[in-house]
Amino acid sequence: MEPLEQLRADTAARERAGLRRILRPRDPDHGGLLDLASNDYLGLSRDPRLIEAAVRATREWGTGSTGSRLVTGSTRLHAELEERLAAFTGAAGALVFSSGYLANLAAVATLGRGGLVVSDAGNHASLVDACRLARARVVVTPHGDVAAVERALRERSEERAVVVTDSVFSVDGDLAPLPGLHAAAVRHGALLVVDEAHALGVVGEWGRGAVHEAGLAGNPSIVRTVTLSKSLGSQGGAVLGAPEVIDTLIDTGRSFIFDTGLAPACAGAALAALAILEEGSDLPELARTRARELAGLAGELGLESAAPAAAVVPVVLGTPQAALAAAALCAEHGVRVGCFRPPSVPEGRSCLRLTARANLGCDDLAVIGRALAAVAGTKVTA
């Protein structure tokens, strides 16, 4: 086949399998639909305090950072954000990136290079890609299986080893066994890299994250990555860790060295969100409460769900076609939901992904309940 003909054939095959993905630009108000698909867990992305902080930063610093962090892309805003992130999460230091994806690439690919990387089967795609870039031997362990991680570390021949996990998994919404993973890593001289993208701002006191909640914050053998684009309502990412980790990433982390720094507006907005959390906001608890309520609604209707560890609530439907039909049905009832299909989830686990927000009200829950009732009534499996 000609190259473009082959691409067309591949696209047609994905269409038949229910795996075609289409960009659907939205309006500012989500086209009148209730948003249950975004990662705006605390409802801060349109908060006037964040908007004003972003505007103020833009007026002072301009629309872009103008260069990589090692040239002109580091501003006093970046330095302040790193200091505040580290203090809030109980880390020794922080390094800000232009996305959480790039933070994960830097942490895992740099720290795991040439050694052994032990990765949970449920890890986010950014961690999977980072494992591939590490030029390391990678062992993928069953989801949440501490014994398998321990075995991989014990049997290794490599001098260096890194254990990699999400803290809150991005689709299933469950919590990693962090104390067990950390103990295994320490016993075998490995670093533990924990992606806190779905935990920061939601899990633990004031939303300090799952590592902090587990009493492991500040431990030098733990490296955390976070995103600014979910609970903090902005954009960007960061690595949190010991000074030796930060220095290594600055010197050798390719996705740090060769990328343009985070835009000033994003740094300003993230600082404003941190200020809200630092005051002891009840938003993290509200987000967790709403997630439990969403899971309860699904369970009462006989839909497959689970008790959420943070704000992510999956509703498993099985096939890609079933998930697509259910998402369309929710939209008909006024609710926009996430629709996750392979390769984002394993075969047979296509699902709706509901994301709780702290600012969901009782009327919103009633609308969501009606949408889920429609899904439960159809039981689409084709």
What is the pLDDT, as a whole number, of residue 381?
46
pLDDT of residue 378: 74
Tens digits of per-residue pLDDT, 216-230? 998 999 999 999 999
Q: What percent of the chain has pLDDT over 90?
A: 91
CATH code of the domain occupying 62-278: 3.40.640.10
Read off the pTM: 0.94
Structural tokens at position 259: 């990328």
- The token pair at 79 is 């330095």
Place of tokens 């996705």: 255
The one-letter amino acid code at 96 reads: V
Average per-residue pLDDT for the chain: 95
Q: What is the reported pLDDT for 382?
A: 41
Q: Is the omega angle on the peptide bond into residue 314 within 30 degrees of 0, that is, cis?
A: no
Report d(CA 298, CA 296) in Å as an integer.
Answer: 5
The pLDDT confidence band at residue 26, using thresholds 50, 70 and 90, is confident
pLDDT in tens, 151-177: 999 999 999 999 999 999 999 999 999
Q: What confidence score (pLDDT) does residue 346 get?
A: 87
C-alpha distances out from residue 293 to 289, 310, 342, 354, Å = 6, 12, 27, 11
Per CATH, 30-46+282-378 and 62-278 having the same topology is answered no
pLDDT score, position 339: 94
**CATH superfamily membership of 30-46+282-378:** Aspartate Aminotransferase, domain 1 (3.90.1150.10)
Catalytic residue numbers, as ranges: 170, 198, 230
Q: Which of 380, 371, 208, 231 is nearest to 294 (CA)?
A: 371
Query: CB–CB of 335/36 below 8 Å?
Result: yes
The domains of the chain are located at: 30-46+282-378, 62-278
Between CA 359 and CA 198 the distance in angstroms is 17
Please check whether residue 381 is in contact with residue 322, taking contact to mean a CB–CB distance below 8 angstroms. yes
Average of per-residue pLDDT across 281-304: 96
Mean pLDDT of 347-356: 94
Residue 379 has pLDDT above 60, yes or no: no
